[in-house]
Amino acid sequence: MRLAQHPPKFAPLPSIASGQLTIDLDAVVSNYRALSRWVAPTALGAVVKADAYGLGAGPVSRALSQTGCRDFFVAHLSEAIAVKSQVGTARVYVLNGVPAGAEPMCADASVLPVLNTLDQVARWACAGRMRNVRLPAAVQLDTGMSRLGLSETELSALCRSGLLQDINLRLVLSHLASADEPAAPSNADQRRRFEAMRAMLPKAPWSLANSAASLLDPESRGDLARAGLALYGVHPAQNDDMRLAAVVRLEAEVIQTRELPAGAGVGYGLTYKAERPMRVATISAGYADGWPRNLGNRGAAYFRGVRLPIVGRVSMDSMTVDVTALGSSGIHEGQWVELIGPHQSLEVVAADAGTIAYEILTRLGSRYERQYIQRNMPTEPAA
């Protein structure tokens, strides 16, 4: 990892990587601060699962903990142990629960499991009894999404079991199925069910909102919001008023250019046929780099603000773009094009590929050279 003190030049030279992925940690921090103010007095936790959506859980968690974030969420225990080592005394929650037999490891790492099943609660209570402590944990309730958490029946059984006495209940959480559609009736249903279910439990802080609900639904914010996507600069819904700073920039190198006569085909299956003489450039990024294969004949790259349509299929390690619009000396081998950046947002790439920005982010490849921007190094250490 390189830490840049200044914005990188558009074409970092020399480079031996297929592409350059620039991650602006200052933008992550500024998005965190903006969203924190937005949801106040609700506290804001950061969701850094899946390697902080592909952007690097280590650097992202460190930057956010230095900014004052005290609650981090990941999916797996292995992720939690890695994040915990970066964030000191901040709390790290494991959304997918604790696997059977891993309770001592989880407790030793001072990581908080999100207990999703009666079995998980029983095992966590037992792990605490062996240590003569009530180990801290969160409990998740299924309020209608049918994904993770205790059902109403299981919650009743839990309350009758007495197991809760052996657990230090620090957070009760649930998740909305349609947070990005604030008018969906299921949101109000889930909120009501959550409130009724929470009333059966000892009083504890609660958390329901992801990025979309944090932005759009004040009633879902509770004590702690859990934001992922918005921190990484992507608007979770179309009609939010928040200004988010872009975090990701992706550039790839031109490795060859050529003139095509009318009638020439391009790429596997020759799915593109030049209708007139044209000029194309081959770019060193393909589907093995997480650049979606179904952007073939649909997506684009940008050079100096000019849109360069992808022609033919995206290959594993490269793709070809139409650079005719730039003229004969417009672009040449060794220059770099923008794949994600000021001219082409993650949302646009995702829409062109028929998917969501979450998927584009989490699939960003491992062959890129990664550069982290952090100009405003925090002066205060983490609390």
Ligand X SMILES: *Cc1c(COP(=O)(O)O)cnc(C)c1O
CB distance 62 to 86 below 8 Å: yes
Number of Cβ within 10 Å of residue 15's Cβ equals 16
Residue type, 380: E
Residue type, 23: I
Does 210 interact with ligand X (rule: CB under 6 A)? yes
For residues 212 and 346, which CB has a smaller minimum distance to ligand X in the complex? 212
For residues 25 and 285, which CB has a smaller minimum distance to ligand X in the complex? 25
- Annotated active-site residue in 9, 32, 49, 287: 49
Stretch that binds ligand X, among 84-92, 227-235, 277-285, 304-312 (CB under 6 A): 227-235
Quote the least distance from Cβ 253 to ligand X, whole Å: 31
For residues 230 and 311, which CB has a smaller minimum distance to ligand X in the complex? 230
Q: According to CB under 6 A, which one of 39, 57, 60, 229 is a site residue for ligand X?
A: 229
Q: According to CB under 6 A, which one of 21, 27, 28, 47 is a site residue for ligand X?
A: 47
Quote the least distance from Cβ 73 to ligand X, whole Å: 6
Ranked by CB distance to ligand X, the top (closest) residue is 228
Does 80 interact with ligand X (rule: CB under 6 A)? no
| Residue ranges in 40-117 assigned as alpha helix (H) | 49-53, 57-67, 77-87, 103-108
Does 95 interact with ligand X (rule: CB under 6 A)? yes
For residues 87 and 114, which CB has a smaller minimum distance to ligand X in the complex? 114
What residues pair up with 311 in beta bridges, in sequence order? 320
Active site residue 203: no
Stretch that binds ligand X, among 127-135, 188-196, 225-233, 317-325 (CB under 6 A): 225-233
CB distance 222 to 207 below 8 Å: yes
Q: According to CB under 6 A, which one of 35, 39, 172, 227 is a site residue for ligand X?
A: 227
259-298 binders of ligand X (CB under 6 A): none
What Å distances lie between residue 239 and 133, 181, 216, 243, 360, CA to CA? 47, 10, 8, 11, 21
Residue with tokens 């959304």: 95
Active site residue 84: no
| Residue ranges in 145-254 assigned as alpha helix (H) | 152-161, 185-198, 211-216
Cα within 13 Å of Cα(203), Cβ side: 0
DSSP code at position 229:
G
User: 305-328 burial, b for 16+ CB within 10 Å, e for fewer?
Assistant: ebebbbbbbbbebbbbbbbbebee
For residues 175 and 279, which CB has a smaller minimum distance to ligand X in the complex? 175
Does 21 interact with ligand X (rule: CB under 6 A)? no
For residues 94 and 308, which CB has a smaller minimum distance to ligand X in the complex? 94
Q: According to CB under 6 A, which one of 62, 70, 84, 175 is a site residue for ligand X?
A: 175
Quote the least distance from Cβ 212 to ligand X, whole Å: 6
Quote the least distance from Cβ 75 to ligand X, whole Å: 7
- Alpha-carbon distance of 264 to 363, in angstroms, equals 32
Edge-to-edge strand ranges of the sheet holding 43-47: 206-207, 167-173, 135-140, 112-115, 91-94, 71-74, 43-47, 224-227
Quote the least distance from Cβ 210 to ligand X, whole Å: 3
Does 235 interact with ligand X (rule: CB under 6 A)? no
Quote the least distance from Cβ 22 to ligand X, whole Å: 21
For residues 35 and 254, which CB has a smaller minimum distance to ligand X in the complex? 35
Quote the least distance from Cβ 132 to ligand X, whole Å: 31
Return the C-alpha torsion angle 347, 348, 352, 357, nearest 10: -20
- Alpha-carbon distance of 180 to 192, in angstroms, equals 18
CB distance 169 to 115 below 8 Å: no
Does 211 interact with ligand X (rule: CB under 6 A)? yes
Q: According to CB under 6 A, which one of 84, 91, 226, 249 is a site residue for ligand X?
A: 226
Residues classed as catalytic: 49, 268
- Contact residues for ligand X (CB under 6 A)? 47, 49, 95, 175, 210-212, 226-229, 236
